Structure 1
Amino acid sequence: MKKLPLAPIQRQSENTLSLINIVFLMLIFFLVAGQLAPPLDKSVTMIDSEDAPPVPPPHALVVRADGSLHYMGEPITVEEFLLRRPETTAAAVSAVSEDGVAAPNEALRIIADKDTQAVTLLDVVADLQKAGAGRMTIVTARSK
């Protein structure tokens, strides 16, 4: 009996290199995208709430427990905040009044420290309204 030589079975190679490249690119993208938002002020403990809708907190006015105002880690006044915040863009500049106060129809985010007294927070809100700020939102942390 004569044996015939069998041709070796050729398996198709699976090209996983392209899959690894795609996963690596996604990883890099999410690492960069996660760093775009500036971190919150570490000296502020946010207020807890149970039914708060998720809102991103960057570019918010921070009211510390002692009543001082901070924006992007720097002390600031109400008037300076209304001029420096990113919502005062080229589209909103036309809505800025002659004295440099931002348009009253723009939403404004406020992060208050958990230990801030309500009277202090109300004074800040009143100062913002006097300066021309319109709608305001207080950013809270969702309690678990």
Structure 2
Amino acid sequence: MRRQPRRAEREPTVALINIVFLMLVFFLVAGQIAAPVETDLRLVRADDPDTTPLGDVLVVHADGRLSHRGRGVDSAAAYLSALPEVERARARLMPDRDLPAARLVAIARELTRAGAESVVIATERETR
């Protein structure tokens, strides 16, 4: 009786390399799809903010200017009316750290008068 020659076991390195490559491509594409945040904006700091995806966010600069996706906006109500109907219930603000609080409150009130049920303010998580 002859013995069968032993086959060398194949290592699944090719499959592992393929998976790592696909993950790399995914993260490269996902990083490019996200809308860039305004470069001159310094966010308000908070210890542990309730994190929600930003989606379409209204940026409020220190001098009170409003912008959405890098373009100037005339008013908070105009920003809200430009959103799709399903996203108008929750308005998202990203204020500059140096924005006066009275201006921030006025913008939030304008958004609620325009039909927003809630106003979410994006802040920067403090790192210790």
Change in 2 beyond 3 A, CA 1:39/1:58: farther
Of the candidates 54, 59, 66, which is equivalent to residue 57 of structure 1?
Answer: 54
Cα contact 1:40–1:58 (8 A) shared by 2: no
Change in 2 beyond 3 A, CA 1:126/1:15: closer
Q: Which amino acid aligns with 2:55?
A: P
Give the CA RMSD over aligned residues. 2.2
* Identity fraction in percent: 36
Q: Classify the secondary structure of the residue corresponding to 2:105.
A: helix
* Structure 2 residue 99 is the aligned partner of structure 1 residue 116: yes
- The whole-number CA distance in structure 1 between the counterparts of 2:65 and 2:35 is 20
Q: Classify the secondary structure of the residue corresponding to 2:108.
A: helix
Change in 2 beyond 3 A, CA 1:13/1:127: closer
TM-score by length of 1: 0.75
Partner of 2:115: 132
Long gaps (5+) in structure 2: none
Partner of 1:107: 90
Q: Which amino acid aligns with 2:70?
A: G
Report the CA distance between 1:67 and its aligned residue. Answer: 0.7
Long gaps (5+) in structure 1: 1-7, 94-101
Partner of 2:21: 24
Q: Which amino acid aligns with 2:76?
A: V
TM-score by length of 2: 0.83
Partner of 1:46: 43
Partner of 2:126: 143
Higher helix share: 2
Of the candidates 82, 88, 91, which is equivalent to residue 84 of structure 1?
Answer: 82
Report the CA distance between 1:74 and its aligned residue. Answer: 0.6
Deviation readout 1:101-131 (Å, 9 max, x if unpaired): x5xxx11110100000001111111222222
Report the CA distance between 1:29 and its aligned residue. Answer: 1.0
